[in-house]
A = this chain, B = another copy of it.
Amino acid sequence: MTYCVGICVKDGLVIIADTRTNAGVDNISTYRKLFLFSVPGEKIFTIATAGNLSISQSVINLLEEGLVDQQTGERERLLDVTSTFHAAQLIGRAARQLVEEQGDALARANVSADVTFLLGGQVAGEDLRLFMVYSAGNFIECGPETPFLQVGEHKYGKPILDRSITYDTSLHEALKLGLISMDSTLRSNISVGMPLDLVTVRRGALKVETSFRVEVDDHYFHDLSERWSAALRAAHKAIPDPPYF
């Protein structure tokens, strides 16, 4: 499994992805699932992937080398597109094409071809946007009322986001909340694992602000997890006892 979260607030965008992949419980590996495509000052796209690793890796390769348009015969790379909406369309086309090609064979082997993507990005002249793209090629866009999207094993890490993220949350706070959401998932589900990859993009900057791998021995992340646990313990102890007895 996988857990990736994208948060799109007033100041910018955070995307965090774990790196664990597993085929069963006895074949566990570390793979990058967060990718950056950028022409600084012109356009930036960051993509996180969940689901079938062979499909998602092939999608990333097609986005790099270009996807042939069936009508025009022209090859289009992700960095050729002129809007984030077109980037979402291109990812969707790549995924749909691969699923059409390999889906039946995968189904016969009892393997799901399902993939989902988070796409965050901005092109000069348009606003910063965050999308979730499905393997059928369709996609939805994140809005300010619920300024986050999740793919993969999303349930464990959702309550903290539901309670705490608003569109006015600062970028630093959004990153912190994303890391807490990730930590909650890591603790409850062994199919999500360290290290973590994270990217932040400030709205309007048209370049990456932070691209960082949080390793398993990262001091800050360890401290965040400990502080969070201690705060939760203090929080529930401070709540009066139920009067139902």
Residue ranges of A at the interface with B (Cβ–Cβ < 8 Å): 155-160, 162-164, 172-173, 175-177, 179-180, 184-185, 187-188, 198, 200, 209-210, 212, 214, 220, 223-224, 227-229, 231-245
Contact with A163, one of B155, B187, B212, B223 (Cβ below 8 angstroms): B187
A157 to B210, CA, bound (A): 32
Chain B residues with Cβ below 8 Å from A177 are 236
Tell me if B244 and A173 are in contact (CB < 8 A).
no
| Best-buried of A163, A177, A200, A228 by chain B (most CB within 10 Å) | A163
Do most interface residues of chain A lie in helix, strand or loop, or is the interface mixed?
A: helix
A244 to B174, CA, bound (A): 13
Chain B residues with Cβ below 8 Å from A176 are 236, 239, 241-242
Contact with A227, one of B220, B227, B233, B239 (Cβ below 8 angstroms): B239
Contact with A162, one of B188, B243, B245 (Cβ below 8 angstroms): B188
Chain B residues with Cβ below 8 Å from A179 are 242
Chain B residues with Cβ below 8 Å from A158 are 156, 188
| Best-buried of A159, A200, A234, A243 by chain B (most CB within 10 Å) | A159
**A159-B187, A162-B188, A163-B187 as given contacts; A224 in contact with B245, CB under 8 Å:** no
- Contacts A159-B187, A163-B229, A177-B236 supplied; 18 other A-B pairs, CB < 8 Å: A155-B155, A158-B188, A160-B236, A163-B232, A172-B241, A172-B242, A175-B244, A176-B242, A179-B242, A180-B239, A220-B243, A220-B244, A228-B239, A231-B231, A231-B232, A231-B235, A232-B235, A235-B235
Chain B residues with Cβ below 8 Å from A214 are 244
Tell me if B244 and A212 are in contact (CB < 8 A).
yes
Tell me if B232 and A160 are in contact (CB < 8 A).
yes
Tell me if A232 and B164 are in contact (CB < 8 A).
yes
**Closest residue of B by beta carbon distance from A161:** B188
A214 to B244, CA, bound (A): 9
Tell me if A238 and B242 are in contact (CB < 8 A).
no
A237 to B229, CA, bound (A): 14
**Closest residue of B by beta carbon distance from A242:** B175
Contact with A228, one of B172, B198, B235 (Cβ below 8 angstroms): B235
**A200-B245, A228-B235, A238-B227 as given contacts; A159 in contact with B173, CB under 8 Å:** no
